[in-house]
Structure 1
Amino acid sequence: MKTKFFLLLCLTALLFAGLGTQRDYWSAAPYRTEAAYSNISRVATDAQGSLYTIADSKRSLIKVNPDGELVYSVSSNADALPGTIQLFDGIATDEQGNAYVLLAVLDSYGLKVSGERILKVSPDGETQQVLYEAAYAASENLLRVGKIQGLSVKEGAVHFFRKEVDTIVLFRLAAGGGAPEELRTFALPANRYVSELAGSDPNSFYFTSKRGRLYAVDATESPTMLYPGEGTVQLNFPVQVFTNDGRHVYFIDYHEAAVQRLDAGQPHYPIQSLLRYTQLTEQFGDVEWSDFTNLYVGNGKITVATTDQIIEVDPTGRVTHWTSTYRYPTATIWMRYAYWALILAAAASSFATIRHLYVHLMKRRISLLVKQLGVIVPIILAAMVGLSYSVYDSFTNEMKEEMRGQLMLLAGNGKHLVDGERLERLNSPLDFMSDDYQAIKLRMNDLLSQAGENRDGLYSTVYRYIDGNLYIIMDDDDSVTMFRPFLTSEENLLVLEKGQIVSGEWEDATGEWMYALGPLYNASGDIIGIYETGKDMNGVRQSHLKILSDVLGMIALIGGVILIVITVMTVYLISSIRRLRRSVNLIASGEWDTEVDIRTRDEVAELGERFNMMASSIRRYIREVTGLSESYFRFVPQQFLNVLGKGNMTQVRLGDQVHRTMTVLVCNMRDFSEFSSTLTPEDNFRFINSFLKVFGPVVRQHGGFTSRYLGPGMLALFPNDPGDALKAAVKMRETLATYNGFRDNSGYRAIEIGISIHIGDVMIGIIGEEQRMEGSVVSDQVRLAGELEKASGKLGAPILLTEEALAACKRTVRLDYRKLGAVQLYGESRTIELYDVYEGDPEPIRRLKRETQRQFEDAVMLYQSGRFYDAREAFVGVVKKNRDDLAAKLYFFACDHYYQHGVTQDWNGALKIE
């Protein structure tokens, strides 16, 4: 039982270990074959046609093969330190299928950037290597965007720009890591305010400014403005700038709602619209499209990302393919089903382990302490979980409502914070960092505590409302451009048309937010814009999880203290019960003088007093019953009653009987008639009692009982293991040697015994009449065992076994024996296969039988096959070596007779014994 429990325990541990190691395959819906893209911010492809996306609001890097099947999905927060949020912010690929991603490390509110890393992700996503790492001081006040931009791969090396206050540095980094090589440091002209960078050639790259201008940088120190034309005032603003050949520049224009391509190699830098939002809505009218978010050019195609879709465009601008989903690999789906199977197997194994422990090892008995804790612990755990959830839910909801109220209050104060007249003078991206812009920005930073430091995750955005269109003017996210169009919604219209203050939650490619909107007015009282303030929900969520962790920790501590108190009290209360139980066990084990001493002065103490009274009565009764039982068992053995299924003599009834298979042992003294004739009747009785006193206990010691005495002998039955009878017979032979030694020392002659062992069905029961009954056994097997005991002397076998008995004994006993062959007793028509167990013979005889065993058994086979002459000669050889071998002599005379006179028609190959 313990082995089975250990195996179940090991199996359960292995199953739960498998659940832990394969937890990536957990899915509440394993039958799902595909997943939808969500909040895509970056896109790239490789030479094999695989698609890479940064999705889920910058929290996931997803690789899909050309067939649309998921290769891997990597989380940005896999190794995030406590109190930080990590988001993917750029991606590039090489020809081998490695991905190089830019990872931004932000504070717990998702606002301030404290560092950046460039990671190399292997083609299968299994390994990630940090190639470059940069740490930033809090005083640099980097909001949501770090300094690294323009990540690209060229000639097997990673290229990237590092944007400083007044310079741009282009680095080259080996694909295996190491220190980056500085290719060029470019000093920015005044008032350029770099927004984005693209390219990898130190003498030919591009950047955009916060004022909506696109510049080309060559070997000189003076950048060339490519877009828009000099002196032109417009709201167009190139974003997500990309180049793959150094000549053609691709970008997204939100004003035109289009993907544009500019040819820097031609005069006047012609611009071509490759893909327009209206083109998508006309071509795919049944699809709901969202804003363009990113683009990538490679492998002869242009890959454009919207918030939830991927679009492929050829160089002419024709849409060749689009998708909003990717498929899970078949192996992944099956592994998810397998994980559920593993969950069910772990549950079943746990149940089987607990059941086995309860049913078999603990025998369905469980400590009162365990039972009490088994009830209290789940209740306390359930109460703790319920209380924790209730406190957490109530507290977080209250916090969210309080935060919503604070945000609405801040949004409502926006009209006092933002000078409407200054806001009206901001009419194009060229007004970036103008006096009006800086004045508004300064007041916003002052409101949000210490010039932008220690904001607790608060952000602010100002929108300008012009001719029915809404534009972003300034935002704490450094990647957001000035005068980016913003779609009007029902909430925006409530602010713009009715001047209401509204709040809500929003999720896009850059993250999840809780926000509040308030109207901004000009001097005439007209609404000219919206002031938005809010918090990143990633930070709020981490704050809530910290609260949950604290609540759980506190409640767990309280619950632990409660459990300890309950345990101590329970142990104290049941200590008296345990003393009482120990006393009961002592009495049950036969220590009748046991008494219990309980001093708790309660109901248990009273129970202890009653126990002592009961113990006293039991002791008195046991003495009486023991004396009576011992008297009974002198006449009817306890084992006899056990076989009948009776507990004591009072349950025995005339005619009670049991039919079962038992091992029969007959032991008798040889030549007792001749021996007893030399003794007086008194001496005969003394000898018989002395004989039985010596040999009778051997039967009991080996699990048997004596059914009846045969003078100086006995008929014994062994109801359990047949090997017990053989062990008892060998022990009797050993005891005989000691017994004869005592007789020799006393001047008496030695005696000899014969033993036969047989196995078969017997009928054991109670015979007699109502006033006189006795236990008896009725069976032809018993009669046969008695006849075999008589034949043992003629065969020279102190212990004679039938073939059935030997087969049953061989499973548990290994002794020396030899095969005597088939024997036919006088008056019997059947033959019996007999064996001579010479383990109990004196050492000289045992040695001779062992040396001649092979020759003897071969001779028996010759006899049984009718080769009497050869058998006779073989038996002669055995007798020459062992002159006391009576079985060999019997066979010799039989062979000689049959050789000279032949056999009768009824000869069956058996040795006949008269």
Structure 2
Amino acid sequence: MSIKSGRQFRSYIISWFLMIVGLIVAIGSTNIFQRAEAYLFENFNNNKISQLNSIAQLIDPRLHQQLDQVSKAKLPIFERLTNSFKAQALTQNQGITFSLNLNPDNETLTYGASYQRSPQEGLLVVSDLFKVLIVPKNEKLELVKLRLPGQPRITRPPQVELRFRNRPELVVNGQIILRILDIKNLTATYKEIKLNRWSKKAQVATINLPSAEEVTYRFVPKDGLLQPPGSLFYAEKGLKREILKRIVVGETAQISLDSQNLKADRYLVSPLFSEDKPLGAVVMHVFQETYHGISRELLQSVWLIFSLMSAAILLAAMFFARKITSPLEQLNLAITRLIKNDFNFKLPPKGFGSFKFLAEQFNQMLAHIQKSRGELIQLNKSYHRFVPHGLLKQLGVASVDEISLGDCCEREMTVLFCDIRGFTTLSESMTPQANFNFINRYLSQIAPVINKHGGIIDKYMGDGIMALFPNRADDAVKAAIEMLASLDKYNEKLRQKKLPIVEIGMGIHYGKMMLGTVGTTQRMDATVVSDTVNAAARVEALTKAFATKILITEETKRHLSDLTQYRLRYIAACQIRGKSKPVTLYEVFDNDTVSIQEEKAANQPTMIRAWKKYREGDIATAVALYRRQIEKSPNDKSLFALIERCQSGRL
């Protein structure tokens, strides 16, 4: 068996063992919990029955029946009876104890004593279906639904609501039961019956409604009993029948309407007898929440025990598994460092124990990765210089591996063409190596300027450059002006070395163009296809014909943000190849000396007049105007070029 298969086998054995142990523990703990729960509930109920019997022994049944007729003069008797309940009363979260009087004639049960008190004064409304307390709060009414001992459990409780119209009204199932006349004094009325909390008359009124059961109203002061002695005991028929049965038989027992549910509400009954005559009972209502509380406490204890056992097993498992998992953890951390491109480390074989061969193999792999990674980084740096990343960005791709053959988009951009004047003559006097050195030194002067102004160098065409400016036309014009300024500084160094200087011409045109990839799947290139590019190339060629350094078209001029930033003058409108209409050209002469700039600006009106004469067919007058300006400005070489083109008819 190999190391790998042996480990897998051990893993399967351990997994199945843990599953079986977990199943046995789950079944056993559930059975133990159920048995302990049943025992605790039975013991709890027996203790409450014993407690209830003790309370019943303190009660004089004859006096107990007189509680509903006790007057203020007999108040000490009432206190004597009720104090016996207070001494033995259960806490609120365990239940509530009360006593009942029996009327044998009609088998009705009425309260003999109750310890449910009102939190604040209000109007208590009671029926077989609902029981609510209306209390004034901040000059408004609040409806408090009560859950009191003996109140029947209704599957579909009635819709009890408090409406505010002209007078606040208590509405049950859409029927007005009671109308509140005075919120502040809590005065209420229904038909001819009036209730007032300040009245000395009877504070309890009963109304029989045609379509409803009997409803009782009374005012309850703060801390007053919500169920005073003598009030009717409401309960489900089954519960009332069981209580009556226990009273008559004289048995102390517990009653649960849901005998299958250990956590259901229970009523513990201890009958009251006098001379073998059943007179009532003491009842303890143990709420369902009490049993839930006992169950929760038991469950918490069980969970605590099993948690401690699990913690002990876990600590033991961790202790024994540490020797196996430690090498894997170190290996995992090493892989994480690799993912984060951290390669400057090695794994110590001593920390792997018997698995040190893993550390040695990992270190060998790491050394190979480091070598391959260095070669790949260097190769990517080399490729980076050949990829037009600016164009890729315009195509909406982040890297070269995302681009596909045929990807394209349409953009409006400014195109700049730049070329060296007389480069052929210069190159003939230099060796091939000197030619490349010369071109690269020249490009190192002007290429950074293009990048500085947001330009994208699309192609290096020997001594020429094609650059795209995707943002503004101003970027291209400012770049051209700065390129000439940088070249002037470079030429100054060439003069000092008594070397030939470099002169260039630049043509700029603005328009729509298509950016995309052309070629094959094995060899492709990102480029621009448009007559805008062709027009820019033709404009650059005209810089030599018109003896200018920078020429821009009318379209470029219209897209400049502020013409006052530049020194521009109109040259001519020429027919160029590839364009059906003449292209209007302007010279940018910001790089000329101040004196020449002033002469060119002064010559502009005469040049415009001469051009108009030429367009009218009066070539002689046009040539005469140009010659007149040459006499004034012999340094304006463009005038000579314009005369020659007028005479040859090439404008």
When the two structures are superposed, what TM-score results if normalisation uses the length of structure 2? 0.50
Higher strand share: 1
Higher helix share: 2
Determine which structure has greater relative contact order: mean sequence separation of CA pairs < 8 Å that are 6+ residues apart, divided by chain length. 2
When the two structures are superposed, what TM-score results if normalisation uses the length of structure 1? 0.38
